[in-house]
Structure 1
Amino acid sequence: MADEATVVTISQGQLLGTKEGQTSAFYDVPYGSNQGRFKHVGAPISWTGVRDARQPGVIFKQGPNRLASVMGSKPGEKNQSEDAFRLNVWTPDVRGKKPVLFWIHGGGFLTGGGALSWYDARHLAEHGDIVVVTVNYRLGVFGNLRLPGISDGNLALNDLITALKWVKRHISAFGGDPEQVTVAGQSAGAWYSLALLASDESYQLFNRLGLMSFPGSVEALSAENAQLLASLLLSHFNLSSKQASKLLDVADDELIAAQGAVTLAMQKRTHDYVPTGFVPMIDGKLLKGDIISEAVRHAQGHVAIFGGTTTHETTSFFHQTPQSKKADYLDFIATSTTTIFTEPTSRLFKAMADRHNDVFQYVMAYPAADPNILACHCIELPFIFDNFEMWDNAPMLAGMDQLSAQQLAHQMQSYFYQFIKYGNPNIAPNLTWPKLTSNDSETMVFNKTSSIQRIVE
């Protein structure tokens, strides 16, 4: 007979989870149902009997991970479907009422999945005494195509709103407190996290926000650019607007392969610093304006924020390119990191602090051993999740001093746990982390020896 702590009952039916250390894990839990390509997610399915939720499940259709050269790879990346409206839950006690972390994975809006073991949250839930949820959402063209009569656009954001509403309704069955929800993510996941605060449909569903490596230079598409992107996609397949419905029958791998060419064609038209492909759009409903302005408007001094960037974000994208051989490589990395990540993050955080939100900013400076990688994009993830064993083939961790890395991980996690529980990361005997104010801008610098440093504008 299953351990009592591994069975929960929700409105859809019963779920059988698995014990992982001192936590119970429930995998591949449906938060919605597939209504077809480019359609809005439907109501979640129900079942009779007990649904087996003991194994990680599918992720959404996607191409190869573009950051495998720093992150490594996972077998689960091949387990893909257009029907992956699933989430995963780790809980220390199904009978409790613990704070909840709703985690949104990154992947440049094109790859990733909440079911991948990079986001295995058993240690995070156990050591932090919190409930952790990871979620899948549609990627690339499948989640962000806007084409009248075919796709309404912003399907990925709607997936996340649907999943977050599911959490509010059901998380108490897993021992979570629906009134204490932190939404957090990294990279594209940070962008979507802020978008959830920016949207009228979701900003009231949580009260704490974690933004790691927020790519703030990526802006939501205007209606005009969303239309241009769709027309470029049709042209790629030699389709007229009257033939748009044929996209419903194009093989998924062909749609995925087309994304790169369409994105480059789009950049030639828009001249954006960062190529803008299938990302969310300002649709007047889910997103009514740029996400920074809308999020600041909704926060109104009631949202606590934890977040920051790494010192060398863009090495993840350029460390194996000819650029890495040039004498000015690190200058190029500094400039591109500032443009894409650091400057928009600091601008957002200052605007939030100016409006009396509690903001705690960090810089992740702990470097990889490889001098071309250093403190790259994604390097903070195993530190936050305390799951280095899940990153066994990650080049960014190769040769890293395990003792100092683990010590820093424990420090970072203790701050993160406190923030999720109380909206303030400070806990003795850790170094006191000051919040940003209109007149005083200091940041936590995470490194082998962490420190507080003043932010230089």
Structure 2
Amino acid sequence: MDTPVIPCPTPFIDHIAGQALGIDLPLRIWPAVKKDGEIGRELGKRPWVFWIHGGAFMYGKHYVPNAWVIPAFRSLSYHVVSVSYRFVPQVTHDDIVSDILTAYTWCRNNLEAVLGKGNVALDSFVSAGDSAGAHLALWCGNHLSPPPKAIVDIYGLTSLDDPFYSLSIPDLPLPILGNSSTEELDKALENRDPKNAVITSAFTLELEPYTSVENLNIA
């Protein structure tokens, strides 16, 4: 059965926050809108959301956040910035954190130029994310300067000591991705060269047979 794909909200602006070992770190910005959805330059200095997507640190995509993210925050007339980062196993947690810091630094230096100096309250921002992104949003709350005014943690992991991350759960009804052999998976996991890191990857349910290429092309 095909799974409907919700297209990316518009309009948006794409930029590159920086590079890591030659790999671009893109981000996507949705400017704030009025309560009726109209875009206008007379909104005044509006807060912004620093959104970090989830995906177990090894998949996901910044350019289409969870379906509720843009409508929810833009209904408050907030700007939304969705950022990317490199995935494991080619990089470490410290590398991922470095990518998040690169994106944040870019926002501090460039958001006013992109959105208009009178349209963004640079120090009034929320760090937010889901799953792995929520973990990184929590990191932002403890390490960014100035710190976020609020943190939105959507089922983020807070401690890797939690048994959930180390115990097998044989009856968990998750779909198995593809028909790769153990040898093929082992070979893929041996690829630890940071120059081969990727910053976007589909979720299992976004791949056939769980959805169709036609559905994905809608986005």
User: Is 1:129 aligned to residue 116 of structure 2?
Assistant: no
Q: Tell me the distance in 2 between the aligned counterparts of 1:107 and 1:187.
A: 7
Offset at residue 121 of structure 1 (A): 5.1
Cα displacement string for residues 216-254 of structure 1 (whole angstroms, at most 9, x for unaligned residues): 2325xxxxxxxxxxxxxxxxxxxxxxxxxxxxxxxxxxx
Q: Tell me the distance in 1 between the aligned counterparts of 2:166 and 2:13.
A: 37
Would the alpha carbon gap of residues 26 and 214 (structure 1) be closer, same or farther in structure 2, given more than 3 Å must change? same
Cα displacement string for residues 23-60 of structure 1 (whole angstroms, at most 9, x for unaligned residues): x4112x11112434xxxxxxxxxxxxxxxxxxxxxxxx
Out of 87, 95, 104, the position equivalent to 2:52 is 104
CA contact (8 A) 2:86 2:99 kept: yes
User: Is 1:26 aligned to residue 13 of structure 2?
Assistant: yes
Larger radius of gyration between Structure 1 and Structure 2:
1
What corresponds to 1:166 in structure 2?
Answer: 106
Aligned to 1:32, what secondary structure does the other structure show? strand
Letter in 1 for 2:25: F
Aligned to 2:165, what secondary structure does the other structure show? coil
Letter in 1 for 2:148: F
Letter in 2 for 1:274: Y
User: Is 1:206 aligned to residue 133 of structure 2?
Assistant: no
Q: Tell me the distance in 2 between the aligned counterparts of 1:89 and 1:120.
A: 16
Aligned to 2:12, what secondary structure does the other structure show? strand
Give the structure, 1 or 2, with the largest relative contact order (CA under 8 Å, sep 6 or more): 2
Q: Structure 2 matches for 1:353-364, cutoff 5 A? A: none
Q: Tell me the distance in 1 between the aligned counterparts of 2:125 and 2:65.
A: 22
Out of 143, 158, 171, the position equivalent to 2:91 is 143
Letter in 2 for 1:217: S
What corresponds to 2:97 in structure 1?
Answer: 157
Aligned to 2:122, what secondary structure does the other structure show? strand
Q: Tell me the distance in 2 between the aligned counterparts of 1:117 and 1:198.
A: 23
What corresponds to 1:182 in structure 2?
Answer: 126
Q: Structure 2 matches for 1:351-390, cutoff 5 A? A: none
Q: Tell me the distance in 1 between the aligned counterparts of 2:18 and 2:68.
A: 22
Would the alpha carbon gap of residues 122 and 106 (structure 1) be closer, same or farther in structure 2, given more than 3 Å must change? closer
Q: Tell me the distance in 1 between the aligned counterparts of 2:61 and 2:122.
A: 23
Offset at residue 274 of structure 1 (A): 1.3
Unaligned segments of structure 1, at least 5 residues: 1-18, 37-82, 145-152, 220-270, 277-313, 322-392, 395-457
Would the alpha carbon gap of residues 155 and 94 (structure 1) be closer, same or farther in structure 2, given more than 3 Å must change? farther
How well do the aligned residues superpose, as a CA RMSD in angstroms?
A: 3.1
What corresponds to 2:207 in structure 1?
Answer: none
Would the alpha carbon gap of residues 102 and 140 (structure 1) be closer, same or farther in structure 2, given more than 3 Å must change? same
User: Is 1:197 aligned to residue 166 of structure 2?
Assistant: no
How many corresponding residue pairs? 155
User: Is 1:35 aligned to residue 21 of structure 2?
Assistant: yes
What corresponds to 2:159 in structure 1?
Answer: 217
What corresponds to 2:201 in structure 1?
Answer: none
Would the alpha carbon gap of residues 217 and 205 (structure 1) be closer, same or farther in structure 2, given more than 3 Å must change? closer
Cα displacement string for residues 378-417 of structure 1 (whole angstroms, at most 9, x for unaligned residues): xxxxxxxxxxxxxxx78xxxxxxxxxxxxxxxxxxxxxxx
Would the alpha carbon gap of residues 35 and 180 (structure 1) be closer, same or farther in structure 2, given more than 3 Å must change? same
Q: Tell me the distance in 2 between the aligned counterparts of 1:273 and 1:121.
A: 27
Aligned to 1:138, what secondary structure does the other structure show? coil
Sequence identity (%): 21
Letter in 1 for 2:173: H
CA contact (8 A) 2:53 2:62 kept: yes
CA contact (8 A) 2:65 2:82 kept: no
Q: Tell me the distance in 1 between the aligned counterparts of 2:64 and 2:126.
A: 21
Unaligned segments of structure 2, at least 5 residues: 1-8, 34-39, 176-209, 212-219
Letter in 2 for 1:194: L
TM-score, normalising length: structure 2: 0.60
CA contact (8 A) 1:109 1:140 kept: yes
What corresponds to 2:63 in structure 1?
Answer: 115
Out of 172, 189, 199, the position equivalent to 1:318 is 172
Offset at residue 119 of structure 1 (A): 5.4
Q: Tell me the distance in 1 between the aligned counterparts of 2:47 and 2:153.
A: 18
Letter in 1 for 2:102: T
CA contact (8 A) 1:100 1:182 kept: yes
TM-score, normalising length: structure 1: 0.31
Letter in 2 for 1:159: D
Normalized per residue, the structure richer in helix is: 1
Q: Tell me the distance in 2 between the aligned counterparts of 1:126 and 1:116.
A: 15
Offset at residue 125 of structure 1 (A): 4.9
CA contact (8 A) 2:62 2:82 kept: yes
Cα displacement string for residues 184-218 of structure 1 (whole angstroms, at most 9, x for unaligned residues): 1111111111112233xx15242211111022232
